[in-house]
C-alpha cells in the first residue's frame, strides 16, 4: 500500500512526518522515497548546472540509500525503513521515471513517498497533506491536489490560521486533522490512523 506525504511548501516538516511514520510503524516494513524536482538547466545526476542534454541524457536520477545519514532519504533509513530512495528529476519529467518507480512499488509491502507531484501518476491509499500556517507560500502542485487529501497534519508554530489564495475553506474542513508540535511530528493518534488504513496494528496498541 502507498502513503503519500505532501505539503504546501518547502521546509515545513514533510520529511519529519514521513520519517515519524516509519519509526512509529516498523511492522509496515516500509520502502521510502524522496522525490525532488528541480528547475531546468540542472542535471539530475550531478545536481548542478551542466551542458548535458538533460531531457535525453539525464531525465532523472534514482539512487538507493545504503546507510542512514542526515539527508532526507538517509533519515528514512535511520527511522527504520527497509529501503530508501532519492529520485531527482527536472520539473515536468517525473513521468520518465515512473517505470522504475512502479517496479519499486511492486516489490514493496508498504511504501511512503514524500512528494506532491507523484499524485499526477499514482493514486495512493492514503494522502497526508502537511500544512504550516506560519508560511504563506502555496506551491501550484499543492494547490492542485490539496482537495484530495485524506487527512491534514497541522504543524503548530503559534500562528493564526491564514487564507491561501485559491484554496477554498471546504478543502481544509471536514477532514481528520492531526496537530504536530515540532520536534514531534507524528502523534499516537496519527500513527493509529495510518495503521488503520494500512490494516496493521501498531505495536504500542497490542
Convert the pLDDT of each residue in 16-68 to its tens digit. Answer: 999 999 999 999 999 999 999 875 444 444 444 444 434 455 578 999 999 88
Spatial CB neighbours of 53, under 8 Å, sequence gap ≥ 6: none
Q: Write down the domain spans for the chain.
A: 2-198
Sheet with 2-7, edge to edge strand ranges: 61-64, 83-90, 30-38, 110-114, 2-7, 126-132, 151-155, 177-180
Question: Phi/psi at 33 (nearest 5 deg)?
Answer: -145, 130
Cell of 4: 503519500
CB 104 within 8 A of CB 82: no
State the cell numbers at 79. 527511522
Residue identified by cell 487527512 is 151
Query: Does 2-198 carry CATH code 1.10.3470?
Result: no
Q: Which of 37, 38, 3 is nearest to 18 (CA)?
A: 3
pLDDT in tens, 142-172: 888 999 999 999 998 766 666 787 888 888 8
Contact indicator for 100, 93 with CB cutoff of 8 Å: no
pLDDT in tens, 98-154: 999 999 999 999 999 999 999 999 999 999 999 998 888 888 888 889 999 999 999
Number of C-beta neighbours around residue 95 at 10 A: 14
Crossing angle of helices 188-198/14-24, nearest 10°? 70
> Cα(121)–Cα(198) distance, rounded to whole angstroms?
21
Q: How far apart are CA 130 and CA 98, in angstroms?
A: 24
pLDDT for residue 7 is more than 50:
yes
Nearest Cα residue to 167 out of 115, 129, 117, 193: 129
pLDDT (tens digit per residue) in 63-99:
999 988 888 899 999 999 999 999 999 888 899 999 9
> Residue 173 contacts by C-beta under 8 Å, 6 or more apart in sequence?
none
Cell of 170: 471546504
Amino acid at each position: 500500500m502507498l502513503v503519500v506525504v505532501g505539503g504546501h511548501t518547502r521546509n515545513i516538516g514533510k520529511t519529519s512526518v514521513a520519517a515519524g511514520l516509519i519509526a512509529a510503524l516498523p511492522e509496515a516494513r516500509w520502502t521510502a522515497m524522496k522525490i525532488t524536482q528541480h528547475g531546468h538547466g540542472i542535471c539530475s545526476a550531478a545536481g548542478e548546472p551542466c551542458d548535458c542534454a538533460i531531457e535525453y541524457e539525464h531525465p532523472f536520477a534514482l539512487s538507493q540509500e545504503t546507510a542512514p545519514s542526515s539527508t532526507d532519504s538517509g533519515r528514512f533509513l535511520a527511522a527504520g525503513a527497509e529501503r530508501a530512495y532519492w529520485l531527482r528529476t527536472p520539473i515536468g519529467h517525473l513521468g520518465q521515471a515512473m517505470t522504475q518507480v512502479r517496479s519499486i512499488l511492486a516489490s514493496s509491502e508498504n511504501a511512503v513517498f514524500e512528494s506532491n507531484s507523484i499524485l499526477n501518476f499514482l493514486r495512493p491509499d492514503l494522502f497526508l497533506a502537511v500544512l504550516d500556517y506560519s508560511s504563506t507560500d502555496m506551491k501550484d502542485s499543492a494547490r492542485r491536489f490539496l482537495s484530495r487529501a485524506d487527512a491534514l497534519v497541522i504543524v503548530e508554530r503559534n500562528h493564526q490560521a491564514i487564507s491561501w489564495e485559491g484554496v477554498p475553506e471546504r478543502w481544509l474542513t471536514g477532514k481528520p486533522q492531526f496537530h504536530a508540535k515540532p520536534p514531534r511530528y507524528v502523534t499516537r493518534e496519527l500513527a493509529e490512523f495510518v495503521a488503520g488504513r494500512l490494516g496493521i496494528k501498531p505495536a504500542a496498541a497490542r
